[in-house]
Structure 1
Amino acid sequence: MNHDRLELALEAAGLGEFEWDLTRDVLVVSKRMAEITGVPAGEMPAEGGRALDRYVHPDDLPQYLDGRSRNLGAEGRYEAEFRQVRADDGRTIWVRIAGVVTMGSDGRPAHVAGIIQDISERKIEEEHRQTLMAELDHRVKNVLAAVQALAQQTAKRTTSLESFLANFAGRLKALGSANELLTAARWRGAAVEHLVAAELGALAPGQTTWDGPELFLTPRAANALSLALHELATNAVKFGALSAEAGHVDVRWAHTGGGFELTWAESGGPRVQPPVRRGFGSTLLEQVTGRELNGDTLVEYRPGGVYARLRAGAPAVAPRPETVPEAPAARSTETIVASSGPADLKGSRVLIVEDAVLLALELETSLSEAGAEVIGPAYELEEAMALLDRPIDAAVLDANLNGRSVTPVAEALARRQVPFVFATGYGETGGAPGGFDAPVIRKPYDVTQVAAAVAELLRAG
């Protein structure tokens, strides 16, 4: 490569070059290095390296000097990354230096030739990624702590395993819905309208209405409101307005200074009596929700229907996110199974495709107890494809298998006219994943829902 081509290559790569003649203690800075570092171009006294050392960030200087001292002790290549304070404008940048040390006839370092590169953008990306990972770790731990608390509090106030599973699963799903909306908005906030729609949208079509201005909540407030709405909706279905065909629930919210106020009003249902026993739902509504919203909660058991008022302070309200997800219309396509007894899958052959081992084992147990012969479970795409030559009557598919789409399996089943249900944690708003005509059950779910959904598929077929 001739000199001109070398110059072009260095320029294209964004590299600056330098030479350090240790024998004469002279440093030669190229024009490109000057542009990167702000150090004047040309030849200058190296001052034993101090000519450049004075521009190394003080916090990085000890490590840099230690590394340089070791590198100059042996012939070969050396590299270093550190922060540098530009000589011209004082800005701090990240640079990478790579050089080759050449020894003199006396066996001592005589010459260093090297290049320098501005890596500030890469370092910023790395720091941003580390910040995101730390934030994700914090959120995951918070979610796990919330789930643990929900489980413990639900268990303390239920008298049977069946009741615990039903109550806990519902609360876990409400928490999951809020987190799904927050994830879609990159955890910048969730809209009150979306939280209400996620809870009521498919619960009782024609018996629920809601209205209010565009309003976004912080993650903490969104989770609290989602759980509160779930408790109110569950009570309405079991004992209140939504337990009767003529019943109705109306939800309204409005700005109140820096915060907001939301009201829940039931009408047209059976005559309401105050609860004899206080369960965790009542405690959650009257104590937890108000504190989490930086406000207060009022629940009144009026004869004509339950009335609840939730007030939130300014800390509960978030700015409008840059990314605002669509309203969770997909909830209306979710398979909601009524408690009409255990599913009967006797004699059916059901394929399970699920990459979460514990969940797959739980599904296998549930389907087997319902009488099905379980094919699999398949944890990987290749495993699932290899099982397709076996007789299959129905299938349960996770949408994503360790980062890979389950679409090839779904397409193969569709060609064979084998019905399947998606049991997935992905919150797509356009119905089933991949546009398939198939029921969808969103994680977290009760495995009995899956068994019931499979039984419904087989009956329809």
Structure 2
Amino acid sequence: MSLIKLDIPVRTAVLLESFLELDQAILDALPIGVYACDADGQILRVNRRAIELWGRTPKLLDPVQRFCGSFRVESLEGEFIPPGETPMARAVLAGESFEGAEAVVQNADGKRWVARVNVAPLRDEDGSVVGAINCFQDVTREHEMRLEIERQQRNFNLAMIASDMGTWRYTMADNICVYDDNAQRLYGLTEARFLHDKDGVEAKFHPADRNRMWARLAKALDPKGDGRYDVEYRVRQLDDSWRWLSAWGLVEFEGQGTNRKPVAIAGASRDLSERKQAEELHRLLGNELNHRVKNTLATVQSIVNQTLRGAVDTEAARTTLNARIVALAGAHDLLTDRSWAGADLADLAARAVAPFVSGQIALVGPSVDVPPGQALALSLALHELATNAAKYGALSRPEGRVELRWQVQAGRLNLSWRESGGPPVVPPTRQGFGSRLIEHALSRDLDGKTRLEFAPEGVRCSIMAALAEPGPQITPPTTPQTTPQTTWTRPSA
């Protein structure tokens, strides 16, 4: 038990005798418990309040029940204190003095309460201890309130830590701001006191935020205002990085009317870094979404215009238009699944040729990511090649075959489309939408080169493009069966 010693001048036995001679009515009128022991620890005198607190009446001059009339005494931490080690025993046996020492007392009926004791040893003229007097009272409610305050403080501290918050107080007289431990961490400080002068502010607060901070501070300090301070700013950290903080507080004024003046600001600050990062990301995503929507609308508009230009058969034009938009939507789905971080070319190719004749198209190549713009362009190009093959080329006959093969070398994509087994190819007399898309738009969108050939044995298309990020170094296989690359062949229906 933590005990506080008190220096008391040498007493005389007369004091003990005087206490013993006091009228019992006077002792019983005292609002605190009082009792005295002799040099052997036997209880000589006790008042009514002490008996009430103990819940029993001790036997006077009893050699068995010495030092204390309590049934059981424990430390505040719950450790048992034997009678011979109580404050009264230590005062009688060792001459120690105690002021404001606290302990838990358990009565015989089970009641538990907190006692605060003041014990003073009594000495004769030679300085020898002849006894001691103990004054004590029940401070259970005060103790519980103190524990509750401590609990609330702990909860407050935990809440401040969990919410990345810290508290501070700025005084005008010395221009000093004092930060708690959490706030020191947020502000990148190594000590609690911070001098809020010109040099300190310029070293700690971001140049772009200082005017706003000073303006909000001036408004809060206005004696005619409500004294509320609220601002967001960036503060320099120990590693020279910047952290966004929100600071708010309330000004303390003194005086009234024209004499009212600010003396301090008490407030708190909170880490806004994650929120600011989220806002910046939201802004970037909004801009990117706006850009992509515009590009998509422009692509759809081009598809519509090219499809309907010179169309004679309205129904056939509608069917073609729908198929092209579905192909574009398929590429969008792939990109959406990966948050528009790109698309796997193998998945994109499989989806582009999925509506066409099964078992006649072989897809040979590695898994490689292509950026969003290239994914949309490739999806439309492959759809146009497959559509043309189904109408006029290899996919228009059961024995026809198409091989789509790609590889990546030194960060460049090489893709080839080869048809075989179809009817003899006759070069078109005019350039349709598919040809224009592949030879012109595709080259621009892919930042590369395309070549479309109408060879008699089958249409061939080669595409070369620079990927946004270098892909894996792939050596083209000699045959699909012996290569470590994956071969995708659509199953028969």
TM-score by length of 2: 0.60
| 2:418 is the counterpart of 1:271 | no
Q: 1:228 to 1:51 in 2, by over 3 A?
A: closer
**Counterpart in the other structure of 2:156:** 9
Number of paired residues? 323
Displacement of 1:3 in angstroms is 5.5
Q: Please, which of 182, 185, 207 is the counterpart of residue 58 of structure 1?
A: 207
CA separation in 2, counterparts of 1:318 and 1:185? 19
CA separation in 2, counterparts of 1:293 and 1:120? 37
**Counterpart in the other structure of 1:228:** 381
Of all paired residues, the percent bearing the same amino acid is: 35
Cα-to-partner distance string for 1:135-161 (whole Å, 9 max, x where unaligned): 122111111121112222222242343
Bigger relative contact order, structure 1 or 2, given CA contacts below 8 A and separation 6+?
Answer: 1
| 2:41 is the counterpart of 1:41 | no
What code does the residue aligned with 2:369 have?
F
**Counterpart in the other structure of 2:235:** 84
CA separation in 1, counterparts of 2:437 and 2:244? 50
Q: 1:188 to 1:44 in 2, by over 3 A?
A: closer
Q: Does the 8 A contact of 1:300 with 1:306 survive in 2?
A: yes
**Counterpart in the other structure of 1:22:** 172
| 2:179 is the counterpart of 1:32 | no
- The correspondence of residues 263-412 of structure 1 with structure 2, limited to 5 A, is 263-312=416-465, 314-315=466-467
Displacement of 1:83 in angstroms is 0.5
What code does the residue aligned with 1:20 have?
Y
Unaligned ranges ≥5, structure 2? 1-147, 473-485
Q: Please, which of 171, 176, 179 is the counterpart of residue 332 of structure 2?
A: 179
| Secondary structure of residue in 2 paired with 1:10 | helix
**Counterpart in the other structure of 1:441:** none
What code does the residue aligned with 1:58 have?
P
Q: 1:26 to 1:245 in 2, by over 3 A?
A: closer
Q: 1:176 to 1:301 in 2, by over 3 A?
A: same
Cα-to-partner distance string for 1:345-375 (whole Å, 9 max, x where unaligned): xxxxxxxxxxxxxxxxxxxxxxxxxxxxxxx
Q: Rg: which structure is higher? A: 2
CA separation in 2, counterparts of 1:219 and 1:43? 53
Q: Does the 8 A contact of 2:250 with 2:267 survive in 1?
A: yes
Q: 1:249 to 1:316 in 2, by over 3 A?
A: farther
Displacement of 1:45 in angstroms is 5.2
Displacement of 1:216 in angstroms is 2.0
| Secondary structure of residue in 1 paired with 2:207 | coil
CA separation in 2, counterparts of 1:121 and 1:319? 33
What code does the residue aligned with 1:59 have?
A
**Counterpart in the other structure of 2:49:** none
**Counterpart in the other structure of 1:422:** none
Q: Please, which of 193, 204, 208 is the counterpart of residue 346 of structure 2?
A: 193
CA separation in 2, counterparts of 1:158 and 1:316? 38
| Secondary structure of residue in 1 paired with 2:208 | coil
**Counterpart in the other structure of 2:366:** 213
Q: Does the 8 A contact of 1:264 with 1:307 survive in 2?
A: yes
Displacement of 1:300 in angstroms is 2.2
- The correspondence of residues 111-260 of structure 1 with structure 2, limited to 5 A, is 111-260=264-413
Displacement of 1:232 in angstroms is 0.9
CA separation in 1, counterparts of 2:408 and 2:193? 67
Q: Does the 8 A contact of 2:378 with 2:442 survive in 1?
A: yes
Cα-to-partner distance string for 1:254-276 (whole Å, 9 max, x where unaligned): 22433122221222222221122
CA separation in 2, counterparts of 1:90 and 1:290? 46
| Secondary structure of residue in 1 paired with 2:341 | coil
**Counterpart in the other structure of 1:423:** none
Q: Does the 8 A contact of 1:217 with 1:318 survive in 2?
A: no
| Secondary structure of residue in 2 paired with 1:269 | coil
Q: 1:7 to 1:90 in 2, by over 3 A?
A: farther
Tell me how large the CA RMSD over aligned residues is.
2.9
CA separation in 2, counterparts of 1:124 and 1:250? 47
Q: 1:37 to 1:289 in 2, by over 3 A?
A: same
TM-score by length of 1: 0.64
Cα-to-partner distance string for 1:86-137 (whole Å, 9 max, x where unaligned): 3x44331111111111221122222211112222122222212222222122
**Counterpart in the other structure of 1:75:** 226
- The correspondence of residues 376-455 of structure 1 with structure 2, limited to 5 A, is none
Displacement of 1:211 in angstroms is 0.7
CA separation in 2, counterparts of 1:295 and 1:38? 50
What code does the residue aligned with 1:82 have?
Y
CA separation in 1, counterparts of 2:309 and 2:159? 67
